[in-house]
Structure 1
Amino acid sequence: MSEKPNQQNPKKGEPWKPKEKFDKKANKEKQKLEQEQTKTEAKQESKQEESNKIKQESNQTIQQQNIKQVQQQKKEEQPIVDKQNIVQKNEQKEQNKRQDFLSHLPIFQDYTSESIKSVKQIDPQTLHHSFVELCIQYQNGQCIGSTHRCVEFLNALKQFIKDYKLSRQSNYFAIAFVDELKKIFNLMKNFRTVNEGMSTSYLFINECLMILRRDTKLDENESKIWLCNQIDQFIQSKIISASELIIKNATQLIQEGTTILVYARSYLIENFIINYFKQGKQLTIFVVDNPQFGEGSQLVKRLQQQGISCYQILLSHVSYILSKVDKILVGASSMLCNGALVSRVGTALLACLASTHKIPFLVFCESYKFSEKSQIDSLSWNEIAQLQQVNENQQYTSLSLRYDITQSNYINMIVTEVGLIPATSVKAVIGEFKKYNYVDAIEVPRKDQ
């Protein structure tokens, strides 16, 4: 019999197998089982991922907590150190502010006769012994007061002129000595601030040298003699004669039996009181002293030597006796062109108290101390008498100034050799004296050829 066409013959060597029938139900069940297995596997994987995330988050929180605990421990261990650092930084800032605030004011060192020659502006071979002694007196406080300092400066300059010798390279004394005078004037600035009286005398001597250089042909010795005579004329005219006229004007101004208050020690006021008592007149005198400098004690000793009785009181107690005072007399380091008074520290306080109690405030001042400068406060220019750190931590600084500024509206009158003038007339007086080179017309030396 023949085989059916849909049947296939098996390959040789293979056993024959019956053909499987396709079952739809069984196939659907398998697919369901496979889907359920994949779902369960996906659920397990998601659970594992969630558990891993939870573990990671817990680990991170633990780490953050540990970091915070460490930081808190560090903060608890070093709060005092941080506060100390902040305090030190603030102190350094304040100290820098203080230094910047006072950096423009000069502070002078204490020199001896040997160390004085170590200053850069000084040539030890050419430094005259008179200036060495003068600078030491400035440092030791033996030479105080603007008038005393100016007179001693001029006397030392005279001695230097007499001993000065021209070099072989220079032919004229006036030409060579101009540079020497400038060096000397700059030298004095290393030991004390140059007051207005010294500046005026320097300008006068410089003018004399310019005239000597321009209008004469005197030899070295004759030039020295003429210049020393001009210095003597300046001392006689602007200091000695001026003080005599001021004393005369003040004697006419102050009546006998007046109660006066004097601050510290002034050359003019001291001579005025002594001359007043020599005339047989009487005054009640209160001497106010600043214990920092002790100039009032020096005036009291000087008056007691002359047999003059007086009362001494400290500056801090002045307000208790002002009701008994008729006039207040003070000296001056200089009078500025705006009418302000430069004097020893504490003068401005007395001027304010005098204005409050309506007591006349009188200033004794020679015209050669009048200045073309203008100043409204005590820190744009001043001199530091003492600046030191009180303790090791440098928490505060002890500051002591030498001068203060008294405004013109507190000054009732200025007693000068030209008369009694208001503070607003200072500028006019300066203009008048400039016409005569601060002294009478300088007599020009000439030599007949």
Structure 2
Amino acid sequence: LHPAVIALGHRYAHGQIRGGNARCKAMLNCFASILHDYEPTSGTSSAVSDLRTILDHNVLKPSFQYWTETCRPHSVSMGNAFTFLKTAVASIDREMAWEEMRSTLLETMEAYAKERIDFADQAIADLALSKLNDKEVVLVYGHSDVIQLLLLKHFWANRNFRVIIVDNRPLLEGRRTLKALREAGVDCTYVLLNALTYVLQENVSKVLLGASALMSDGSVLGRVGTACVALAAHKHNIPVLVCCETYKISNRVQLESITHNELGNPEALLNEDDVLQNWKEIDGLKLLNVLYDLTPAAFVSGIVTELGIVPPTSVAVLLREMDQGS
């Protein structure tokens, strides 16, 4: 394995890179480093069809398997990007020289990151901006790159509004959003998840949520606690908008949060003076640090993608259109 693969796997495993977009970009950058350093062995440079197979089975696939099986399960965004990269390798002209092939793949990965992530986030922020008015009270949960961009754009448009940031242990990712918004001068309130029902009574006009993935039935896979926020907002008749790029759409259907999920380090749930410090010695006691939950489509008012704002029931239509377009 390339040293960059092992280094990135270490960062994945220790939580130094979090978020679907950040993990996907890091993967693409790592593959770019591998392609820069990779040179075909003698005897394969003249057989490009064999070289494409070697690149797929000996370079790309072992790296992805190492990250997934040894370090941390891959996100939907990483899986979709990896599938796209494998398709790009397979579609290369068999007569193409290695240097040209490498250049083509590097340009393809760079274009994918810009179009499906960076430009998509800008488009989502512009679309969602039309749904925000002056003197709004907007509630967000945890951290999402696209929602942070949206709120900053709303503030730069000289809008007077307030943001309530709801966070949750043990990751406390909402502090990243809080820091960015406060540095820009946005009026913020920061609370933990157990105060959610209290702050929802403070004239909250909209709830904005990020997503790790969109299931084909319109349900939303997000950081654990997302479903609680969406449920509470739904019960208070507050619109819930989910901002998500289309490259995070999965063709799977998921009905609950247990079958397909990811477990974090249980030690992260403990405080320094916690009475559960010796929990491993207590028979019949286990600590469960679930990282994601599933929000039913019924709790979501609309999904904002770079292709437009759609109801959750239209996610399957988006998926079909994207498959036909590819």
Task: Report what 2:185 is aligned to.
Answer: 307
Does the aligned pair in 1 maintain the 2:163–2:186 contact within 8 Å?
no
- Equivalent in the alignment of 1:320: 198
**Alpha-carbon separation, structure 1, partners of 2:120 and 2:169:** 30
> 2:226–2:293: 8 Å Cα contact kept in structure 1?
yes
Secondary structure class of the residue paired with 1:226: helix
1:404 maps to which residue?
293
CA deviation map 1:232-255 (0-9, x unaligned):
111111111111110010111111
1:386–1:398: 8 Å Cα contact kept in structure 2? no
Match of 1:146 among 16, 20, 24: 20
Q: CA deviation at 1:387?
A: 3.6
Judge conservation of contact 2:266–2:287 (CA < 8 Å) in 1. yes
User: What's the offset of the Cα at 1:177?
Assistant: 0.5
Q: Stretches of 4+ moved more than 3 A in 1?
A: none
> In the aligned structure 2, how far is the partner of 1:436 from the partner of 1:164?
32
Say which of 257, 260, 269 aligns to 1:381: 260
Asked if structure 2 preserves the Cα contact closer than 8 Å seen for 1:261 and 1:327, the reply is: yes
The whole-number CA distance in structure 2 between the counterparts of 1:384 and 1:158 is 30
**1:40-439 correspondence to structure 2 within 5 Å:** 127-170=1-44, 171-172=47-48, 173-179=51-57, 180-189=59-68, 190-212=70-92, 215-324=93-202, 325-387=204-266, 390-437=279-326
| Amino-acid identity (%) | 28
Call closer, same or farther: CA 1:183–1:385 in 2, change over 3 Å: same
In the TM superposition, residue 169 of structure 1 has moved relative to its aligned partner by: 4.2
1:43-74 deviations in Å (ceiling 9; x for gaps): xxxxxxxxxxxxxxxxxxxxxxxxxxxxxxxx
State the Cα RMSD in Å: 1.4
Contact 1:387 1:399 in 2 (8 A): yes
Residues 259 and 327 of structure 1 are in contact (CA less than 8 Å); yes or no, is this contact kept in structure 2?
A: yes
- Tell me what 1:65 maps to: none
User: Aligned partners of 1:187, 1:178: CA distance in 2, in Å?
Assistant: 14
Aligned mates of 2:230, 2:210 — CA distance in 1: 12
Q: Highest CA radius of gyration, 1 or 2?
A: 1
TM-score by length of 1: 0.67
Amino acid at match of 1:320: Y
Q: Normalising by structure 2, report the TM-score.
A: 0.91
In 2, Cα distance between the equivalents of 1:318 and 1:274? Answer: 23
- Secondary structure of 2:10 counterpart: helix
Whole-Å separation in 1 of the counterparts to 2:233 and 2:185: 29
SS in structure 2 of the partner of residue 294 of structure 1: coil
| Aligned-partner Cα distance in 1 for 2:66–2:242 | 31
Task: Tell me, in whole angstroms, the C-alpha distance in 1 between the residues paired with 2:80 and 2:30.
Answer: 16
Contact 1:319 1:353 in 2 (8 A): yes
List runs of 5+ in structure 2 lacking aligned partners: 268-277
C-alpha separation in 2, matches of 1:282 and 1:418: 28
CA displacement, residues 206-256 of structure 1 (integer Å, 9 cap, x when unaligned): 1111111xx341111110000110111111111111111100101111112
CA contact (8 A) 2:162 2:186 kept: no
SS of the residue 2:84 aligns to = helix
- Matched pairs, number: 309
Displacement of 1:334 after TM fit?
0.3
Task: Tell me if structure 1 keeps the 8 A contact 2:142–2:167.
Answer: yes
